[in-house]
Each structure stands twice: as structure tokens, then as C-alpha cells.
Amino acid sequence: MPTRANIYPELKVRSPLEQAWLLFRKNTLAMIGLWGLGFLTLFTLFGPWLAPYAPYEQFGEALLLPPSWAAEGNIDFFLGTDDLGRDLLSRLISGARLTVGNAVLIVLVALLVGGSIGILGGMSRGMKASILNHLLDTLLSIPSLLLAIIFVAILGPGLLHTLFAITLALIPQFVRATYNAVSEEMQKEYIVALRLDGANQWRILRYGVLPNLSDTLVSQTTRALSAAILDITAVGFLGLGAQPPRPEWGAMLSDALELVYLAPWTVTLPGLAILLSVLVINMVGEGLRQAINEVMD
């Protein structure tokens, strides 16, 4: 018996999230960055269990061993060892938690605090908004790395002080980005229509402002995460952040700097880890921003 034709075909309308994902998947660079970010997340969450050796374990018979693909290399130490015989692959994997994991935490804190202040400032008027605007202009004129170094110099060296200082340095960037985006949204016609309809501030924020902040938040979060990784490693490189023998990537760079000619892999590998981490984060962030813009347009 022949099946009946569907006289009333249903047209499935994809949600904005599904449309953004389909557009994101078409971006080859963004998908490569997503795979890289997945591996980076895996190392950050499960680094101590994935590393072949403990990050502080020393092998006296394998000092300054080159990577395994070199003629003098050993497959047991895939990326070679440092001057104390510690496995570099294990230290890099374990250091992902100290560098990338801490960067994610401080960016989330800066996003929550700075985003909340920016939303409140953008929806307010008069003297309160003007004071916030001028205060942000003053803070943003100072680079975040310089602010972090000043705070660490006052509080003293250490990873915890570094994270606190970088968080304080990143909050004004989120406040400014959110403040500008909310102020721009509040001038649009549909916000005026919501006001004429009798909507209160919470309803305007929930249904009129927040749905249109995704582009700003994705862009600013991506930039802040890259900046946080670079700032953590830079402060660690200067000896003000994580202290040796902790396998933070910036501290590893600083510790191996005197070996740059004798054992260049001890400097190159932490530098590559920092470079690739920032690169994949920016690739994913740019892909998300483009997909969200196309959906909103």
C-alpha cells in the first residue's frame, strides 16, 4: 500500500544557536582551533593523569636530553629533558593547569564583575555614568601588564598575587566593552518601544539588551583570555609570578633562558605552548564572532 504524501509539510526553523553552530562548522580555521582548544582543555583538566611522569621527578642519567626525533634523543622522553633531568612533556602538560586553567578562572571572574558593572553603568544616566566613564578612561590608559606588575610589586611575588593583580587589571576592559555595548543598545528604537510599552529596567535588560551582547562578550572574553595567558607567563618570566620549580610556562622560560644555546628545546617548547594556546583561542573566538554576526544580520 503506497504511503500517503504529506500535504502539510512542516518547516523546521532552526534556533539561533543551531544556526550559529552550522555557520561555525563551515569555518575551517575555526574548527581547527576548536580541536586544538579541546586538546588544551583536556590537558588543563586531566594534566596530572595524562603526563607520563611527575613534573618534579628528576632522572640523573638523562640530563639535557634532546627530543626523541633527534639523533641523541630517547623515546622515553618524547620532548627531551631539562638541566635537572625533568621530562619536558610532563612539565608542559602539568603547566597547562597553572597557565591556561588560571587564565580561564580570572577571566570568568573579570567577566562577571566587569560585565555587571558595565551593564549597570550603561543603563544608568547622569553623574553616575559620567564618573564611571572618566574613571574607565583613566584605567584603560595603563596597559594591563603594567597594572599587573605594579600590583605584584606592591603585594609581593607569587602566583596567587599574580592572579589577583591580573584580574583587577582585566575588569576595567570588561566594564568598558559592556558599558559601550549597553549604551549603544539603549539608544535603539526597539528599546524605546519597550519603554513606551511600560517595560521596567529588568525587562528591558532581559529581553532587549542581553540577547544583543553576545558578540561583544565573545570578542572581549577571547581577547581577555589571550591577554591573561600572556600576562601570567610574562609576570612568571620576570620572576614575579609562579616560582620555580612550579611548571608554569613563563617560569619555565625564565628558568631555561641561560640554556638557549646549549639546549634550545628547553626554551622553544614552552614558547610554542604559549603561542599555540593563544592562537587556538583567537581562532575559536573569531569564528564564534563571525557566526554570531551572520545570524544576527
pLDDT of residue 8: 55
Residue 4 has pLDDT above 70, yes or no: no
Beta bridge partners of 77: 74
Ordered by where they begin, the domains of the chain are 17-46+92-296 (1.10.3720.10)
For 56-113, how does the pLDDT look when each residue is reduced to its tens digit (9 = 90+)? 999 988 889 999 998 888 899 999 999 899 999 999 999 999 999 999 999 999 999 9
pLDDT of residue 187: 80
pLDDT of residue 126: 63
Please state, in angstroms and rounded to a whole number, the distance separating the CA atoms of residues 44 and 50.
10
CA distances from 254 to 194, 249, 276 (A): 56, 9, 19
Please state, in angstroms and rounded to a whole number, the distance separating the CA atoms of residues 18 and 15.
5
Q: Is-contact 288 218, C-beta < 8 A? A: yes
Q: Model's pTM, two decimal places?
A: 0.88
Please state, in angstroms and rounded to a whole number, the distance separating the CA atoms of residues 94 and 247.
7
Q: Which tops the pLDDT comparison, 9 or 185?
A: 185
Q: Tell me if the bond preceding 55 is cis, omega within 30° of 0.
A: no
For 141-152, how does the pLDDT look when each residue is reduced to its tens digit (9 = 90+)? 777 778 778 888
For 224-270, how does the pLDDT look when each residue is reduced to its tens digit (9 = 90+)? 999 999 999 999 998 888 888 889 999 999 999 888 899 999 999 99
Residue 10 has pLDDT above 80, yes or no: no
Residues 31-49: what's their mean pLDDT? 93
Task: Print burial letters for 172-196: b (CB count within 10 Å at least 16), e (below 16).
Answer: bbbbbbbbbbbbebbeeeebeebee
Reported confidence tier of residue 118, pLDDT bands at 50, 70, 90: confident
